[in-house]
Structure 1
Amino acid sequence: MSASLIRRACAAALILTSTLAPAIAVAAAPQSASPEPESRRAVQARLLGEKIVPYKLDFQGTTVGGLSGIDRDRCTGEYVFISDDRSFLQPARFYTAKLDVDAGGVHSVDFTGTHPFLQPDGSVYPSPALGDGKAIDPEEIRVDPLDCDYWWGQEGDRPAVAGPPVIQPSIEISDPDGTHRGSLRLPENYLITAERGPRRNQAVEALTFGARGRVVTSAIEGPLLQDGPVPDLTHGALVRVTQQSRGGRVLGQFAYPIEKIFAESDPNSPWGPDTGVPSLLAFPDDPNRYLVLERTWVAGSGYKIRLYDATTRGATDVRAMDSLAGQRVVPMRKKLVADFHTLGLSTVDNTEGMTWGPVLPSGERTLVLVSDDNFDKEAVTQIVALAVR
């Protein structure tokens, strides 16, 4: 059977399963807090293994790197990676790959294909150097559980100086060959304006499907301008997590608390600390529960990567709040699952993407993560596999 026929058959089966499944309600208003089930209190993670992809690996005439998102394609069994190359090296694109991951670790990473993302008119996305306002900053990718199309988030651009046009963040939908199929309507407070909306390079980096594909959840990487300052050595911050229908209707919006900065920045560095939420992943059996990745970089101290188990249950729905600054809100509750410095990795780098992998004979679920090397020879493209119980 051809790959396209396999994909269509798989998608049809998934749609039928979703149609027959009972509806899963997603609360759009604050819920009363209740004791957490034992299953939520017991989440643990351990390292299975890792694999480093060669720096600037050439594949089909493209430079592999900047891998900032990963998901597993249920229709093919392969994995899909998004590159955050903004068409500087080659047109903005994604990759497919076969990963050999099991209880023994990550045995191989074999890239099988690559395609550029196409604009609605069929052309590739241009480099920001053109200054025409059509460039993108791809960061996250998810395979639709219903039809195996690709949904991908891009941060847009809030220019650092006057002159270049603002490029709004968006969530786009493409065929597996890169053909553009549509966009998800984002909440109004995700839009960039002069004094409101996401900060530069802190917009839509996190995207996931929940409730058997009927709920799309996204997160802003850092606090909106109107929601208060970014984290520092003494204070964390709140970032917005939004649940939407596939058609774009907002079902709920919640405040997720990110940690304060873990160390002082090197005073000789021109770069300040950078922290936020680059990825989140819905639990298969609970539309209100997520694994949340927090990534922090501090000059002189490097990266700290932490994985949390978080829930919207009992959290305040903040969609109608123009600003979170000074407001009394109940944020999402979270529990630490793993601090990457305690896992035994060869290095802790710029981990930005994660997806569920196969279930292990032990009953644990694999979690596969990827780091973004930013096309920097001092960084790495690291594929990590964890076992999550």
Structure 2
Amino acid sequence: MRTSLIRRACVVALVLATAVPPAVAAGRGDTMDTTARPGIGAQARLLGEKIVPHKLPFRNTTVGGLSGIDRDPCTGEYVMVSDDRSALQPARFYTARIDVDGTGVRSLDFTGTHPFLQPDGSLYPPAGAGDGKVVDPEELRVDPWGCRYWWAQEGDRPNSSNAPLIQPTIQLATRTGRYRGQLPLPRAYESTREEQGLRRNKAVEAITFGDGGRTLTSVVEGPLFQDGPEPDLDHGALVRLTRQHRDGGVLGQFAYPLEKIFAESDPTSPWGPDTGVPAVLAFPGDPGRYLVLERTWVAGSGFKIRIYDTTTRGATEVQNMDSLAGQKVVPMRKKLVVDFHDLDLSTVDNTEGMTWGPTLPNGERTLLLVSDDNFAADEVTQIVALGIR
């Protein structure tokens, strides 16, 4: 999602609790009791950060727009997807060596880049081509079975009736970007011309493998039209998390409770607040447990980045509900792991990607996050490393 394009234009836990939360009317987050019991859930500490030089040139490309990151178990390197919609260079991903330990991010060195290819082997055209083949890459995960790449793109619900409607996809690619297939998406993930289904720029931006690679979970960034309004100062919202078998069969769908907006917008700004889920990460060996990244931007207040420990245990199965609005559902429980404003960071920016890193000698798992600078001079590409316990 391009939250910071807005910024530019205007100057711009686990809940392992066994108690099941009461059912609530969906769509209005102020009534939801989704917190975990005190003291339960993951905890985080800052290890360090690294800022990538703005518009770093690398192998005839411009590094930036990094909206997803994953660790490759076959090489120990990291793979990062750029959300450049072929505007600067063809839609692409990067590989990099990132040295992180208990004292911080020691180094970051890019090692390769490849474009994503269409099924016919051609490059994706730039945004505005008007042929319905444009992609908006947002997330990439390395398949634990063979280390090929699964990547998600949001598609496009255009503002104009003359522009093509582009559906979101989760595609399988080789390690050099060649197309190898596509995951069937749940019916609810379909975009329509009417106000049904996915909102614009609020589609499939978060995916993760779980159960040793047997399942793939996705989260819709914002609420579907039929599931209720987007969050505001008084209310949160529900977004759908779907767990699928790697062949596409839906194993379960649940309602994740998105936080309400944290501050009032600058009244002089023409842009309203923007919030959503840009990344999700499964806990190894613990089906149904996830870290969820929530990213919010408010004019005049900037970004708020929060990570939650959450679980599907005890939550209502919603895949057969055409609409969540007004329904009595038990949402996923969640517990705050960290708010980036509580960390000693040089800046809190447009963080969109999240992956597990190596385990430290003290038993902590490292968590690496990357921010999407949207190729803007007033934003940064920031790698943040956390220790999770």
Q: Which residue of 1 aligns with 2:360?
A: 360
One-letter amino acid of the counterpart of residue 50, structure 1: E
One-letter amino acid of the counterpart of residue 136, structure 2: D
Q: Which residue of 1 aligns with 2:25?
A: none
Structure 2: distance between partners of 1:185 and 1:39: 39
Q: Which residue of 1 aligns with 2:52?
A: 53
Once the two structures are TM-superposed, the CA of residue 271 in structure 1 deviates from its matched residue by 1.2
1:237 to 2:234 alignment: no
Structure 1: distance between partners of 2:367 and 2:175: 23
Q: Which residue of 1 aligns with 2:32?
A: none
Does the Cα contact within 8 Å between 2:36 and 2:335 map onto a contact in 1? no
1:370 to 2:361 alignment: no
Structure 1: distance between partners of 2:367 and 2:51: 16
Structure 2: distance between partners of 1:223 and 1:120: 30
1:150 to 2:149 alignment: yes
Once the two structures are TM-superposed, the CA of residue 42 in structure 1 deviates from its matched residue by 4.2
1:266 to 2:266 alignment: yes
Secondary structure, aligned partner of 2:188: helix
Secondary structure, aligned partner of 1:349: coil
Structure 2: distance between partners of 1:41 and 1:265: 33
Q: Which residue of 2 aligns with 1:4?
A: none
Structure 1: distance between partners of 2:195 and 2:378: 36
Structure 2: distance between partners of 1:40 and 1:365: 19
Structure 1: distance between partners of 2:347 and 2:211: 35
Q: Which residue of 2 aligns with 1:137?
A: 136
Once the two structures are TM-superposed, the CA of residue 160 in structure 1 deviates from its matched residue by 1.3
Once the two structures are TM-superposed, the CA of residue 41 in structure 1 deviates from its matched residue by 1.3
Once the two structures are superposed, the pairs formed by residues 297-316 of structure 1 within 5 Å of their partners are 297-316=297-316
Provide the alpha-carbon RMSD of the alignment.
1.6
Structure 2 gaps of 5+ residues are: 1-17, 22-34
Structure 1 gaps of 5+ residues are: 1-30
One-letter amino acid of the counterpart of residue 219, structure 1: V
Higher relative contact order (CA 8 A, sep 6+): 2
Deviations 1:220-268 (CA, angstroms, capped at 9, x unpaired): 0000011010000000000000000011100000000010000001111
Does the Cα contact within 8 Å between 2:36 and 2:334 map onto a contact in 1? no
Q: Which residue of 2 aligns with 1:351?
A: 351
Deviations 1:77-103 (CA, angstroms, capped at 9, x unpaired): 100000000000000000000001011
One-letter amino acid of the counterpart of residue 303, structure 1: F
Once the two structures are TM-superposed, the CA of residue 37 in structure 1 deviates from its matched residue by 11
Once the two structures are TM-superposed, the CA of residue 343 in structure 1 deviates from its matched residue by 1.0
One-letter amino acid of the counterpart of residue 342, structure 1: D
Structure 2: distance between partners of 1:112 and 1:43: 32
1:276 to 2:251 alignment: no
Tell me which stretches of 4 or more aligned residues in structure 1 moved more than 3 Å: 31-34, 36-40
Instruction: State how many pairs are aligned.
Output: 358
Structure 1: distance between partners of 2:386 and 2:238: 27
Structure 2: distance between partners of 1:40 and 1:83: 37
Q: Which residue of 2 aligns with 1:296?
A: 296
Structure 2: distance between partners of 1:168 and 1:330: 29
Relative distance call for 1:219 and 1:42 in structure 2 (3 A) is closer
Deviations 1:11-62 (CA, angstroms, capped at 9, x unpaired): xxxxxxxxxxxxxxxxxxxx9849x999991411000000000000000000
Q: Which residue of 2 aligns with 1:318?
A: 318
Q: Which residue of 2 aligns with 1:122?
A: 121
TM-score, with length taken from structure 2: 0.90
Overall identity of the aligned pairs, in %: 71
Once the two structures are superposed, the pairs formed by residues 171-210 of structure 1 within 5 Å of their partners are 171-193=170-192, 194-210=194-210
Q: Which residue of 2 aligns with 1:217?
A: 217
Q: Which residue of 2 aligns with 1:10?
A: none
Does the Cα contact within 8 Å between 2:352 and 2:372 map onto a contact in 1? yes
Q: Which residue of 2 aligns with 1:72?
A: 71
TM-score, with length taken from structure 1: 0.90
Q: Which residue of 2 aligns with 1:337?
A: 337
Structure 1: distance between partners of 2:269 and 2:41: 41
Does the Cα contact within 8 Å between 2:41 and 2:309 map onto a contact in 1? no
Relative distance call for 1:188 and 1:379 in structure 2 (3 A) is same
Does the Cα contact within 8 Å between 2:36 and 2:333 map onto a contact in 1? no
Structure 1: distance between partners of 2:374 and 2:39: 34
Structure 1: distance between partners of 2:197 and 2:316: 20
